[in-house]
């Protein structure tokens, strides 16, 4: 299906929902604003950049991620109970929801399509090193891979390693290096 | 009751209102470090205990505290508040001896899913 076909179908659905009085137009604007501007990986990237810059915040984030994230103002549905796990040269963490598509909306927004796909959900659990290799992520031979299956009520986010040669960078500059995928744990943060 | 989705309904989404944590004094059956086995059960309805975990042995890594039990809630059986743990399984326990010896998988499991080993 082309993008035009999808757009047409979405418009038809929107018209029907409005005409039948199931949804009010301002609600649709609000949903778009919510997921385009307010809930998304830019929130998680700011959390990560702050953790890289502020050791006290990082300690709080790893100890009680829910409170530390709320402290930054990111309080929303699918972020009620958060756990943040830290990548190091010896540990690569990877998040999956094998049962469905659970994802920390407050900090990462809606999950990418591949995250919800059956191949990712099964292989991230059974062959995480194979999945990491397909994402182009190299793991040291002596490193440990930890998979986090967010099957229950907690939502997980990875604190990626701070890239080399980033000393002296501001939080805003660091944020640009933090991708959604690096906070799922399938890639590293970008090099500056 | 109105079922129309309004701007206010959507704005409610942005609030952190849906915690599954329950403020109840419920005893934990296990403590951090305990060895456990996930029960080999086959519920016909909703469960958060995936098949690949059933019958496998792991150890309690973290006690998250008391949460409502998703399985019971899905079947109209109420919250049945109980401890939810992060349980660590080695990759070799789950996938066999060819899996990398260092790797592991952490999954959140309720008390009712677990038995002592």
pLDDT band at A1 (very low <50, low <70, confident <90, very high): confident
If asked whether residues A76 and A113 sit together in one domain, one would say yes
pLDDT tens digits, one per residue of A171-190: 999 999 999 999 999 999 99
Q: State whether the Cα torsion A96-A104-B69-A62 is positive or negative.
A: positive
Q: For residue B14, with 0-12 CB atoms within 10 Å meaning exposed, 13-18 middle and 19 or more buried, which class applies?
A: middle
- In this complex, is the C-beta atom of A27 within 8 Å of any C-beta atom belonging to chain B? yes
pLDDT tens digits, one per residue of B37-83: 999 999 989 999 999 999 999 999 999 999 999 999 898 889 999 99
Give the CA dihedral A181, B14, B12, B110, nearest 10 degrees.
60
pLDDT tens digits, one per residue of A99-140: 988 899 889 999 999 999 999 999 999 999 999 999 999 998
Query: What would the two tokens of residue B116 be?
Result: 């002592």
Residues 6+ apart with CB under 8 A from B50: A98, A99, A149, A151, B107
Query: Taking CB atoms and an 8 Å limit, are B4 and A23 in contact across chains?
Result: yes
If asked whether residues A87 and A174 sit together in one domain, one would say yes
> Domain coordinates of chain B in residue numbers?
19-116
pTM of the complete model = 0.92
ipTM of the complex: 0.93
User: A interface mutation test: which of B13, B52, B66, B92 has the most A CBs within 10 A?
Assistant: B13
Q: State whether the Cα torsion A86-B114-B56-B78 is positive or negative.
A: negative
Domain membership flag for residue A61:
yes
If asked whether residues A156 and A80 sit together in one domain, one would say yes
Shortest Cα distance, chain B CAs vs residue A55, angstroms? 23
pLDDT band at B11 (very low <50, low <70, confident <90, very high): confident
**Parallel/antiparallel/unpaired status of strands A144-149 and A91-96:** parallel
- In this complex, is the C-beta atom of A44 within 8 Å of any C-beta atom belonging to chain B? no
If asked whether residues A69 and A12 sit together in one domain, one would say no
What is the predicted pLDDT for the residue at B1?
47
If asked whether residues A43 and A29 sit together in one domain, one would say no
- In this complex, is the C-beta atom of A67 within 8 Å of any C-beta atom belonging to chain B? no
pLDDT band at A92 (very low <50, low <70, confident <90, very high): very high
- Please, are residues B114 and B82 in contact by the beta-carbon 8 Å criterion? no
Shortest Cα distance, chain A CAs vs residue B22, angstroms? 12
Query: What would the two tokens of residue B89 be?
Result: 């399984």
**φ, ψ at A148 (rounded to 5°):** -115, 110
What is the domain-level CATH number for residue A143? 3.90.330.10
Number of domains observed in the structure of chain A? 2
pLDDT tens digits, one per residue of A27-46: 999 988 888 888 899 999 99
If asked whether residues A75 and A147 sit together in one domain, one would say yes
Structural domain range at position A91: 39-184
What is the predicted pLDDT for the residue at B16?
63
If asked whether residues A20 and A114 sit together in one domain, one would say no
**Residue keyed to tokens 């309805």:** B45
Query: Taking CB atoms and an 8 Å limit, are B6 and A24 in contact across chains?
Result: yes
Domain membership flag for residue A29:
yes
For chain A, what percent of residues have pLDDT higher than 70?
A: 100
Does residue B29 have a pLDDT over 50? yes
Domain membership flag for residue A190:
no
Q: Which residue has the higher pLDDT, A38 or B14?
A: A38
Please identify, in words, the CATH class of the domain defined by B19-116: mainly beta
């Amino acid at each position: 299906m082309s993008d035009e076909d999808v757009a047409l179908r979405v418009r038809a659905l929107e018209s029907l929902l409005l005409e039948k009085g199931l949804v009010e137009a301002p609600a649709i604007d609000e949903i778009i604003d919510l997921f385009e501007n307010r809930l998304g990986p830019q929130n998680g990237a700011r959390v990560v950049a702050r953790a890289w810059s502020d050791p006290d915040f990082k300690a709080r984030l790893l100890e009680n991620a829910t409170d530390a994230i709320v402290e930054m103002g990111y309080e929303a549905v699918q972020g009620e109970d958060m756990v943040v796990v830290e990548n190091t040269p010896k540990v690569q963490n990877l998040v999956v929801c094998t049962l469905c598509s659970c994802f920390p909306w407050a900090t990462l927004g809606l999950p990418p399509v591949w995250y919800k796909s059956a191949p990712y959900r099964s292989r991230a659990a059974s062959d995480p090193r194979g999945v990491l290799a397909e994402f182009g992520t190299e793991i040291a031979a002596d490193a440990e891979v930890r998979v986090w299956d967010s099957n229950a009520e907690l939502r997980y986010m990875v604190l990626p390693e701070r890239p080399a040669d980033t000393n002296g960078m501001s939080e805003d500059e660091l944020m640009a290096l933090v991708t959604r995928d690096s906070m799922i744990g399938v890639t590293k943060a970008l090099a500056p | 009751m109105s079922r129309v989705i309004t701007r206010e309904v959507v704005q409610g989404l942005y609030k952190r209102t849906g915690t599954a944590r329950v403020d109840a004094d419920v005893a934990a059956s296990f403590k951090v470090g305990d060895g456990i086995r996930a029960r080999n059960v086959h519920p016909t309805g909703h469960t958060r205990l995936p098949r690949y975990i059933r019958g496998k042995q792991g150890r309690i890594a973290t006690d998250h505290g008391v949460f409502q039990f998703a399985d019971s809630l899905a079947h109209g059986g109420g919250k049945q508040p109980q401890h939810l743990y992060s349980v660590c399984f080695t990759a070799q326990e789950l996938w066999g001896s060819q899996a990398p010896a260092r790797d592991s998988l952490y999954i959140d499991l309720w008390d009712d899913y677990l038995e002592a080993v």
